[in-house]
Amino acid sequence: MKEIKVLIVDDSAFMRRVLSDILQQDQRLTVVGAARNGRDCLRKLKQVQPDVITMDVEMPVMDGLSTLERIMEENPLPVVMVSSLTKDGTESTLKAMELGAVDFIPKPSGAVSLDMARVEAEIVRKVKGAAEADTGVLARRHTPVYPRIPVFQKGTKRVIAVGTSTGGPRALKEVLATLPEKLPAPLVIVQHMPPGFTKALADRLDKLSSIKVKEGAHEEELKNGVAYIAPGGTHMTVVQKGERLYLHLNDQPPVSGHRPSVNTLFQSLAAVRGWMVTAVVMTGMGTDGLEGMIQLRSSCPTYTIAESAQSCVVYGMPKAVVKSGMADEVTGVTNISAAIVRALQNQEGVEEWK
């Protein structure tokens, strides 16, 4: 197994030491250096040549966002942000994801060493996952493609389900910001995130999009032209009552390490009758969504769109769908909104369900 060299950037000596101790418990991870701020980080990059950087958001002299921007412009590398759960911290983290950060680690609160011990497996997983990221995709800036608003047949009930993980916030921005305002379907979205970040993500995407984007609420009825993001740390399912669909939230155990889980969302839609489903799987590590997709496609008319390797930060989740043969369409992130619109328009042509 290839060694992964990590540079830790944090203004707290204690945090640098704690992160170093956690990361070096894994045989593949080697901490090759530490920096106190962004300026120190930029000086050390050529010396230690890391594969992954963990970066504090708030630092003196040169903060994490400024440093990240320089790295992505001059020598793109996978960066995992270390963020506080404050309002300013979550907004800065989402900005970092747009600038090219692969993922983030919530900065622990209270008894730091105890909190870090609880999440050390996730920290190791995210750093190892970041090493697989496509740095060319991270540095690339896309030109958005806005689909034309088609004429839809009245009366047909459709729902769009989206699953994504690593690299998802930026991918969601690409897709949601280019969907037409009068979209004749609701969207239900699972983005792997811990509590405290999805509300800020939804609010940010809402400002950038013609459709309404919000964090999902328990027993909320799904409405056309609205995107509902599963709250971080909570499973989100869809329940049918008569001709209408509603959200249900629960805190049942993680599924394959994930809560919210794409599999859980897709499996709930498999029980819906009389609705056509457009299922979208985008950038992310692992295979979450695959088992749910199998159930979904065996139970109701479903058109599946998978993001292509060329635009994925990590080609894991969509790759699993493509390899299984269940992807009806494979396309880059800038074309996904247009693919969704075409699927909605053409879903009258889906093979009659038996």
Residues 296 and 321: their CA atoms lie apart, in Å, by 12
What is the number of alpha carbons within 13 Å of residue 182 lying toward its C-beta? Answer: 7
Distance, in Å, from the CA atom of 290 to the CA atom of 317, rounded to the nearest integer, reads: 8
Q: Which residues, 6 or more positions from 32, have their beta carbon under 8 angstroms from its beta carbon?
A: 5, 6, 7, 48, 49, 50
Nearest-CA neighbor of 344 among 279, 247, 283, 282?
Answer: 279
Give the Cα separation of 6 and 274 in Å (integer).
51
Distance of CA 255 to CAs 5, 81, 122, 143, Å? 30, 25, 15, 36
Q: How far separated are the first and last CA of the chain, in Å rounded? A: 48
Q: For residues 93 and 275, is the Cβ–Cβ distance under 8 A?
A: no
Quickly list DSSP for 295-321. HHHHHS-EEEEEE-TTT-SSBSHHHHH
Which stretches of 193-316 are assigned E, i.e. beta strand?
212-215, 226-229, 235-241, 244-250, 276-281, 302-307
Q: Is 218 a catalytic residue?
A: no
- The residue type of 346 is N
User: For this structure, is 288 an active site residue?
Assistant: yes
How far is the C-alpha of 34 from the C-alpha of 252, rounded, in Å? 38
165 is catalytic: yes
Check 92, 192, 209, 235 and give the catalytic one.
192
Largest CA distance in the chain: 65
The letter for the amino acid at 186 is: P
CB 97 within 8 A of CB 126: no
Q: Which of 11, 261, 288, 337 is catalytic?
A: 288
Q: Of the residues 83, 84, 92, 165, which is catalytic? A: 165
- Closest C-alpha to 153, from 23, 339, 323, 344: 344
Catalytic residues: 165, 192, 288
